[in-house]
Amino acid sequence: MTIDPTVEDEPIDSLERKRSLEAAIRTRREAVLVVNSRSRRGRQLYRRAKRLLRERGIALALTYPVRNPARIPEIVRDAIGKGYQFIIVGGGDGTISSVVDFFAYRSVVLGILPAGTANSYARALGIPLALNEAVEVVVSGKVVDVNLGKINGNHFANAAAIGLPASIARHMPKLLKRWFGRVGYLLVAAVRLVRQRPFRCTLTASGRTIEFDAMEVRVANGQYQGGVRVANEASLESRDLVIQSIKGGSRWSIVRFWTMAMLGYPPSIDDVLVVKAPDVTLDTAPRQYVSIDGEPVTQTPIRATVARNALMVVAPRERTDLV
């Protein structure tokens, strides 16, 4: 089967088209497997994933254990260019975010095997973190089309952040992340929190501009960041992105926010500003780094927009809110 190499400008919103593509990949049962083998659990995941997928009747036309994550976008792009319609990617949020540009508005389906530290995007989709259960979703789940975000013209999967999360991303030693996972994030967070300073944020959305002091700002497509549910208002099927700011100049507001989030409680309305909009511009003084799906890749100012129904991905059938 081949795909139309032309990237569409309009969202893929036809239920018939989704079901047709789902039927095609289920009938052919052929996929390409690409795994970030430097991500946490990556090397073990690659070997087990190959075995489990083949046991479930998936013919793996091409398989790639990738030790250098910088090569993953090129590998995925080439596989799509060769006409493969089902690409299974194993990795964390940064890995998924690095390839979604190549899936956007194409008749190509992404299957996700979580193998990162936080796996926030997999959590947002309801994909189990256990490999055998994630493989079951890939094999027998449903094809849905969900939103992506775009920042300065490039698609992202889950969330972007300014402030402490970006500082953590910039200063996280790779070995600490690899060996200690989320505990490593907490250690770096404690150090960076002491040095975190408030910044002035200018937000323009829906024809109005507001200014405020902030310690942290996130642009959320999904509800999770750092593996923690932080943006309850966000939805992969919404027409809006959620802009959430931890207000003021106190480090204790950050501590309160994340403590409440990790305990499963909503944040205090005194600590958080929430704006929902399909198109938003953010600027800061002084200029701030921006982490996108855990990777510090740009700086303010940024323009963020929602890319409606841009990504075809396999999700659990019990997620009735995803279609």
pLDDT tens, per residue, the chain with 323 residues: 333 333 444 444 568 888 889 998 999 999 999 999 985 568 889 999 999 999 999 999 999 999 999 999 999 999 999 999 999 999 999 999 999 999 999 999 999 999 988 999 999 999 999 999 999 999 999 999 999 999 998 999 999 999 998 988 888 777 666 666 677 777 777 778 888 899 999 999 989 999 999 999 999 999 999 899 999 999 999 999 999 999 878 888 898 999 999 999 988 888 899 999 999 999 999 999 999 998 999 999 999 999 999 999 999 999 999 98
Q: How far apart are CA 117 and CA 308, in angstroms?
A: 27
Q: Report the phi/psi class of residue 257: left, alpha or beta, with left for phi > 0 and alpha for psi in -120 to 50.
A: alpha
Tell me, what's the pLDDT at 8? Answer: 43
Between strands 241-247 and 295-299, the pairing is unpaired
Q: Give residue 66's Cα distance to chain centre.
A: 19
| 227: nearest Cα among 128, 112, 124 | 124
CATH of domain 156-306: 2.60.200.40
The two three-digit tokens of residue 206, written as one number: 């829906």
Class of 15-148+310-315 in CATH: alpha beta
| 111: nearest Cα among 50, 31, 4 | 31
Ranges in the chain annotated CATH 3.40.50.10330: 15-148+310-315
Residue 89's Cβ-side half-sphere holds a number of Cα atoms within 13 Å equal to 33
Ranges in the chain annotated CATH 2.60.200.40: 156-306
The two three-digit tokens of residue 307, written as one number: 């890319």
